[in-house]
Amino acid sequence: MLIGGVLLVFFFLLIPVFAFNGYLLRVIGTTVEGESEPPAWDDWGELIIDGVKFSIVGLVYSIVPIAVIFGIGSVLLGLGGAAGNSGGGIIAGFGLMTLLLLIPVMFLIYYIVPAALANMAVEGSLGAAFDFSLLKNVVLTSDYFIAVLMPIVVGIITNLISNILAFTVIGLVLVPFVTYYGQVAVFRMFGTAFASQTNKSAQQVTGPTTSA
Protein backbone atom coordinates (compact mmCIF):
# COMPACT_ATOMS: atom_id res chain seq x y z
CA MET A 1 0.00 0.00 0.00
CA LEU A 2 2.89 2.33 0.74
CA ILE A 3 4.42 1.91 -2.72
CA GLY A 4 1.08 2.13 -4.52
CA GLY A 5 0.00 5.19 -2.54
CA VAL A 6 3.27 7.02 -3.20
CA LEU A 7 2.97 6.31 -6.93
CA LEU A 8 -0.51 7.82 -6.92
CA VAL A 9 0.83 10.93 -5.17
CA PHE A 10 2.91 11.48 -8.31
CA PHE A 11 0.08 10.59 -10.70
CA PHE A 12 0.82 13.73 -12.75
CA LEU A 13 4.01 12.05 -14.01
CA LEU A 14 3.77 9.41 -16.74
CA ILE A 15 6.17 6.83 -15.32
CA PRO A 16 4.34 6.38 -11.97
CA VAL A 17 1.02 6.07 -13.81
CA PHE A 18 2.39 3.39 -16.14
CA ALA A 19 3.96 1.52 -13.21
CA PHE A 20 0.70 1.66 -11.27
CA ASN A 21 -1.35 0.47 -14.25
CA GLY A 22 1.18 -2.30 -14.82
CA TYR A 23 0.69 -3.41 -11.24
CA LEU A 24 -3.09 -3.48 -11.69
CA LEU A 25 -2.57 -5.65 -14.76
CA ARG A 26 -0.39 -7.93 -12.63
CA VAL A 27 -3.14 -8.08 -9.99
CA ILE A 28 -5.74 -9.16 -12.50
CA GLY A 29 -3.34 -11.73 -14.01
CA THR A 30 -2.33 -13.35 -10.72
CA THR A 31 -5.97 -13.45 -9.66
CA VAL A 32 -6.93 -15.37 -12.80
CA GLU A 33 -4.05 -17.75 -12.11
CA GLY A 34 -5.46 -18.46 -8.63
CA GLU A 35 -3.03 -16.52 -6.45
CA SER A 36 -4.51 -15.37 -3.14
CA GLU A 37 -1.84 -12.81 -2.23
CA PRO A 38 -1.24 -9.46 -3.95
CA PRO A 39 1.70 -9.58 -6.38
CA ALA A 40 5.05 -8.10 -5.43
CA TRP A 41 6.30 -4.72 -6.60
CA ASP A 42 9.28 -5.99 -8.58
CA ASP A 43 10.67 -5.96 -12.12
CA TRP A 44 9.81 -2.29 -12.57
CA GLY A 45 10.75 -2.28 -16.24
CA GLU A 46 8.16 -4.95 -16.94
CA LEU A 47 5.61 -3.08 -14.81
CA ILE A 48 6.08 0.09 -16.83
CA ILE A 49 5.86 -1.76 -20.17
CA ASP A 50 2.70 -3.54 -19.00
CA GLY A 51 1.32 -0.17 -17.92
CA VAL A 52 1.88 1.16 -21.43
CA LYS A 53 0.04 -1.87 -22.85
CA PHE A 54 -2.75 -1.27 -20.31
CA SER A 55 -3.11 2.30 -21.59
CA ILE A 56 -3.06 1.22 -25.24
CA VAL A 57 -5.90 -1.24 -24.69
CA GLY A 58 -7.96 1.40 -22.90
CA LEU A 59 -7.34 3.95 -25.64
CA VAL A 60 -8.17 1.56 -28.50
CA TYR A 61 -11.41 0.41 -26.89
CA SER A 62 -12.50 3.94 -25.98
CA ILE A 63 -11.16 6.43 -28.51
CA VAL A 64 -12.44 4.73 -31.68
CA PRO A 65 -16.15 4.42 -30.74
CA ILE A 66 -16.18 7.74 -28.88
CA ALA A 67 -14.53 9.55 -31.79
CA VAL A 68 -17.02 8.07 -34.29
CA ILE A 69 -20.08 8.94 -32.20
CA PHE A 70 -18.81 12.40 -31.29
CA GLY A 71 -17.88 13.09 -34.91
CA ILE A 72 -21.27 12.05 -36.30
CA GLY A 73 -23.14 13.92 -33.59
CA SER A 74 -21.13 17.09 -34.12
CA VAL A 75 -21.63 16.96 -37.89
CA LEU A 76 -25.39 16.52 -37.51
CA LEU A 77 -25.58 19.40 -35.02
CA GLY A 78 -23.59 21.58 -37.40
CA LEU A 79 -25.80 20.66 -40.36
CA GLY A 80 -28.91 21.30 -38.30
CA GLY A 81 -27.67 24.71 -37.26
CA ALA A 82 -26.77 25.60 -40.84
CA ALA A 83 -30.08 24.38 -42.28
CA GLY A 84 -32.29 26.22 -39.80
CA ASN A 85 -36.10 25.99 -39.75
CA SER A 86 -37.88 22.79 -38.70
CA GLY A 87 -35.77 20.55 -40.93
CA GLY A 88 -32.62 21.81 -39.30
CA GLY A 89 -34.14 21.23 -35.88
CA ILE A 90 -34.84 17.60 -36.75
CA ILE A 91 -31.27 17.09 -37.98
CA ALA A 92 -29.88 18.75 -34.84
CA GLY A 93 -32.16 16.53 -32.75
CA PHE A 94 -30.65 13.44 -34.37
CA GLY A 95 -27.24 14.88 -33.63
CA LEU A 96 -28.11 15.31 -29.96
CA MET A 97 -29.50 11.78 -29.78
CA THR A 98 -26.28 10.49 -31.33
CA LEU A 99 -24.20 12.25 -28.67
CA LEU A 100 -26.37 10.72 -25.96
CA LEU A 101 -25.23 7.32 -27.20
CA LEU A 102 -21.92 8.12 -25.49
CA ILE A 103 -23.48 7.14 -22.15
CA PRO A 104 -24.24 3.47 -22.99
CA VAL A 105 -21.02 3.27 -25.02
CA MET A 106 -18.97 4.33 -22.00
CA PHE A 107 -20.63 1.62 -19.92
CA LEU A 108 -19.95 -0.92 -22.68
CA ILE A 109 -16.28 0.06 -22.69
CA TYR A 110 -16.12 -0.29 -18.91
CA TYR A 111 -17.78 -3.70 -19.26
CA ILE A 112 -15.50 -5.17 -21.94
CA VAL A 113 -12.09 -3.72 -21.08
CA PRO A 114 -11.58 -5.72 -17.83
CA ALA A 115 -11.98 -8.99 -19.73
CA ALA A 116 -9.61 -7.74 -22.42
CA LEU A 117 -7.01 -6.76 -19.82
CA ALA A 118 -7.38 -10.09 -18.02
CA ASN A 119 -6.82 -12.07 -21.21
CA MET A 120 -3.81 -9.93 -22.07
CA ALA A 121 -2.37 -10.46 -18.57
CA VAL A 122 -2.80 -14.23 -18.81
CA GLU A 123 -1.54 -14.65 -22.38
CA GLY A 124 1.22 -12.04 -22.04
CA SER A 125 0.57 -10.42 -25.42
CA LEU A 126 -1.14 -7.22 -26.47
CA GLY A 127 -3.06 -9.02 -29.21
CA ALA A 128 -4.82 -11.19 -26.62
CA ALA A 129 -6.77 -8.12 -25.51
CA PHE A 130 -8.48 -8.18 -28.90
CA ASP A 131 -9.25 -11.91 -29.07
CA PHE A 132 -12.94 -11.26 -29.56
CA SER A 133 -13.87 -14.92 -29.97
CA LEU A 134 -12.71 -15.68 -26.42
CA LEU A 135 -13.94 -12.40 -24.96
CA LYS A 136 -17.42 -13.01 -26.37
CA ASN A 137 -17.72 -16.25 -24.40
CA VAL A 138 -16.86 -14.37 -21.22
CA VAL A 139 -18.69 -11.05 -21.46
CA LEU A 140 -21.97 -12.49 -22.76
CA THR A 141 -22.69 -14.31 -19.50
CA SER A 142 -24.94 -13.24 -16.64
CA ASP A 143 -22.30 -14.18 -14.06
CA TYR A 144 -19.74 -11.85 -15.62
CA PHE A 145 -22.33 -9.07 -15.85
CA ILE A 146 -23.12 -9.33 -12.14
CA ALA A 147 -19.45 -9.61 -11.19
CA VAL A 148 -18.53 -6.49 -13.15
CA LEU A 149 -21.27 -4.50 -11.42
CA MET A 150 -19.80 -5.18 -7.97
CA PRO A 151 -16.65 -3.07 -8.50
CA ILE A 152 -18.92 -0.09 -9.13
CA VAL A 153 -20.11 -0.43 -5.53
CA VAL A 154 -16.51 -0.61 -4.31
CA GLY A 155 -15.63 2.44 -6.38
CA ILE A 156 -18.51 4.43 -4.91
CA ILE A 157 -17.49 3.48 -1.37
CA THR A 158 -13.81 4.35 -1.86
CA ASN A 159 -14.70 7.65 -3.52
CA LEU A 160 -17.00 8.49 -0.62
CA ILE A 161 -14.25 7.70 1.90
CA SER A 162 -11.73 9.74 -0.10
CA ASN A 163 -14.06 12.74 -0.24
CA ILE A 164 -14.58 12.59 3.53
CA LEU A 165 -10.84 12.30 4.19
CA ALA A 166 -10.10 15.23 1.89
CA PHE A 167 -11.69 17.65 4.38
CA THR A 168 -8.64 17.40 6.64
CA VAL A 169 -4.91 17.71 5.90
CA ILE A 170 -4.08 14.32 7.44
CA GLY A 171 -7.02 12.74 5.63
CA LEU A 172 -5.89 14.27 2.34
CA VAL A 173 -2.54 12.51 2.75
CA LEU A 174 -4.38 9.19 3.12
CA VAL A 175 -6.51 9.60 -0.03
CA PRO A 176 -3.94 8.06 -2.46
CA PHE A 177 -3.61 4.98 -0.23
CA VAL A 178 -7.37 4.51 -0.02
CA THR A 179 -7.56 4.90 -3.80
CA TYR A 180 -4.82 2.31 -4.23
CA TYR A 181 -6.64 -0.18 -2.01
CA GLY A 182 -9.90 0.38 -3.87
CA GLN A 183 -8.28 -0.07 -7.29
CA VAL A 184 -6.55 -3.30 -6.27
CA ALA A 185 -9.84 -4.63 -4.87
CA VAL A 186 -11.68 -3.72 -8.07
CA PHE A 187 -9.14 -5.37 -10.35
CA ARG A 188 -9.11 -8.47 -8.19
CA MET A 189 -12.89 -8.63 -8.70
CA PHE A 190 -12.38 -8.25 -12.45
CA GLY A 191 -9.86 -11.09 -12.40
CA THR A 192 -12.18 -13.31 -10.37
CA ALA A 193 -15.05 -12.66 -12.78
CA PHE A 194 -12.87 -13.48 -15.81
CA ALA A 195 -11.41 -16.60 -14.18
CA SER A 196 -14.80 -18.00 -13.22
CA GLN A 197 -16.08 -17.72 -16.77
CA THR A 198 -12.97 -19.03 -18.52
CA ASN A 199 -12.88 -22.01 -16.15
CA LYS A 200 -16.51 -22.78 -16.96
CA SER A 201 -15.79 -22.53 -20.67
CA ALA A 202 -12.82 -24.90 -20.34
CA GLN A 203 -14.92 -27.42 -18.43
CA GLN A 204 -17.59 -27.28 -21.13
CA VAL A 205 -14.98 -28.03 -23.78
CA THR A 206 -13.07 -30.79 -21.94
CA GLY A 207 -15.92 -32.14 -19.86
CA PRO A 208 -15.89 -32.71 -16.10
CA THR A 209 -12.79 -34.22 -14.60
CA THR A 210 -12.96 -37.37 -12.53
CA SER A 211 -10.58 -38.82 -10.00
CA ALA A 212 -9.82 -42.46 -9.33
pLDDT in tens, 129-184: 998 888 888 888 887 887 788 888 888 888 888 888 888 877 888 888 888 988 89
Residue 210 lies in a domain: no
Tens-digit pLDDT profile for the chain (212 aa)? 889 888 888 888 889 999 999 999 999 999 988 888 889 898 899 999 999 999 999 999 988 888 888 888 888 888 777 776 766 777 777 778 888 888 888 888 888 998 999 999 988 889 999 988 888 888 888 878 877 888 888 888 888 888 888 888 778 888 888 889 888 988 998 888 888 777 654 444 445 544 43
Residue 212 lies in a domain: no
Residue 198 lies in a domain: yes
d(CA 210, CA 145): 30
- Which structural domain, as residue segments, surrounds residue 28? 1-202
Structural domain tally of the chain?
1
Whole-model pTM: value is 0.79
Residue 184 lies in a domain: yes
